[in-house]
Amino acid sequence: MNKISPYYKAVAGALIPFLTAISVSLEDGTLTAQDWVQAVIALVVGGGVVFTVPNIPNNSETPNA
């Protein structure tokens, strides 16, 4: 379980924009190819951005000033 725990943040950062894009696209009752492309772009960009930003280190890991 510890091997995948660093990726939880990226998975949440990918799924939330993806599901938001799908739910907004479903307001008219249909999903077009353009809607799917937009949702996948939101998934990739959201997950990619969150994955590349490093976590803030714990207080015990920060050097004293």
What is the residue-level pLDDT of the chain in tens, covering all 65 positions?
A: 677 777 888 889 999 999 999 999 999 999 999 999 999 999 999 999 988 887 777 666 555 55
Residue 64: predicted pLDDT: 58
Q: Is 19 left (phi over 0), alpha (psi -120 to 50) or beta?
A: alpha
d(CA 59, CA 64): 10
Residue 14: predicted pLDDT: 92
Residue 59: predicted pLDDT: 66
Residue 53: predicted pLDDT: 84
Is the full-model pTM beyond 0.85?
no
d(CA 17, CA 35): 13
